[in-house]
Structure formats: C-alpha cells, structure tokens
Amino acid sequence: MSHDVIVNPTELHDAYVFDMDGTIYLGDHLLPGAARMINELRRRDIPVRFLSNNPTKDPEQYAVKLAKLGLPTDVADIANTVVTTTRWLKANHPEAVLFPIAEKPLCNALREAGFTLSENPEEIDIVIASYDRSFDYRKLQIAFDAIWFHKRAFLIQTNPDRFCPFPGGRGEPDCAAITAAIEACTNTTCQVSLGKPSPVMLTESLAGLDVEVTNCVMVGDRLQTDIQMALDTDMRSALVLTGEATAEDVRALSTEHLPTYVLDRIDRLLPQSVWDELGWTEQNDPDTH
C-alpha cells in the first residue's frame, strides 16, 4: 500500500455515514479494523449510519448481514436505493404507474408503498432502471415502447454505478449498464438518479440527527459516488483504499476533488489519540485473521 497519499483524521466528528461494500466488508468478511472502529464509535454515542447503492437487498437484509458479521444494526440506521427510490417516488409521483427493471426487493417495496407495477407500455408512466441480473431483451423492448413508441414514460435510475465489485477484483455490470441500453435505443436521458452521489442519500441517512452536516463524515471506497456526494453537500469525506479507488486514482485528482481524508484501513478513521488511549495497533486487531 502506498502511503504518500494517506491523510488520517486528527479529531472525532459528530456522525459517520458508511458505505458498506468495499468499506465495512468485502463479500462475507469484515475488512480489518471495521468491527472495533464501529463499536468504539457506538461506545462513545457517536451516531453511525450505513448506506448502499445496491438495490438487490432491502434494509432488513443488510441488517441481517451486518449482524452475522458481528455488527448488530437497527434497520432504521440503514438506507439504500430501495429506500430512497421508493420515498422519492412517493413524494413526487405517488400516482405513477411504474415499470421497474429491478429485482424483488425494490419491486416488493414499491408494491408495499401502494404503487401499480405494469409491463404494459401503454400505461407505464415511469421506467426505473436498476441493478437487475434478470435484465433481458424483453424488458428492454417494454422500456423502448413506453418511452419511445408511446412517448408517455420517462426514465429514472436507482444508482449510477457501472459495476458491482466482488472479492478478488471481479465484478458484474450494475445499473448504469441498463440505463445506457435504454438511453441508447430511446434517444432519451435519465432524468433522476436516486443513489449516491445524489444528496437524497445523505438526507435520508442523517434524518432525525441533531448534527452539523459540515462536521459529519461520509466514508466510502468510490470517488465518483461516496466522495462526490460528500463534496456536493459540504460534508467531510474519507476515502478508504480497500475497495475500488486506488492511491493512483487519488494522485490523479485535482485539488477540488480530493477527499478530506485518505485511509489505508477503516479503523484509521479514528485519530491516533484514540488508538493511543485504547492501546490499539494494527497487529492487535482481534478481527484480523
């Protein structure tokens, strides 16, 4: 790991908002230092919230996963694009007929919120592009007919991610690939993106907390989503080099796009004074195997 780009915090902040994939865990394993860092923030009564652009799970599933990994978490402390997409549509288009190109968690949440879902292009008002591993030509045709042929529907997306990372450096196409296919054949443009870096994600995550946004930290592994969202909302940001972004990516950034902090491991989010107080070293992390 190259250390010439590392910038560690020197103080604690009012609240911390964490991306999950590539930041807290990778696959089915917590990343080094994650458990002791989260537990220490909670011990100090500092609010901790979790975000994800992945709409293939609902918040309850994320809560179950975090609990299995040793981090029991209230569902209310988790917001993903299932939550933000459903709430945005309820607030802005409560009567719309929807065609979600999506997996069960989002479709179920939309139905539970009272929306009508349809595959009839003649009645669809909004096409929702999402991370959908069952995407096929039939779904593309429905979207094409609703938007281009009948000229009645418009396109939104749950998140702008090009791919979802897997352990070992692999990944699979994410929502942006489906959005691009629909845009290409309909000659239209996606009107709204409801995942990071949209500020709606941070609004949802910090709702109900009496904190100053400028003294909270968004922590993640992606420059274009996690860090950009923080920059767009005047929130402090911490890039952890355990997921997508690399030290080379940081070196290539202009000054206005730099994250506040750059960490080589997630527990370095806590300042050195806390490490010294607790007697922490990188070698005595009980969750490092």
pLDDT digits (tens, 9 = 90+) for 210-232: 999 999 999 999 998 899 999 99
Q: How far is CA 23 from CA 15, 123, 271, in A?
A: 16, 41, 18
The gap from C-alpha 23 to its chain's centroid, in whole angstroms, comes to 10
pLDDT at 163: 87
pLDDT digits (tens, 9 = 90+) for 117-147: 999 999 999 999 999 999 999 999 999 999 9
| Prediction pTM value | 0.84
Statement: residue 289 has pLDDT above 70: no
Q: How far is CA 13 from CA 8, 43, 123, 236, 270, in A?
A: 13, 14, 49, 9, 9
> Which residues lie below 8 Å from residue 134, measured CB to CB, with a gap of 6+?
103
Q: Given pLDDT bands bounded at 50, 70 and 90, which one contains residue 101? A: very high
Percent of the chain residues past pLDDT 70, beyond the cut: 98
3-state secondary structure of 153: coil
pLDDT digits (tens, 9 = 90+) for 182-192: 999 999 999 99
Percent of residues in the chain assigned helix, strand, coil, to nearest 5: 40, 20, 40
CA distance 246 to 172: 19
CA distance 70 to 58: 19
pLDDT at 118: 98
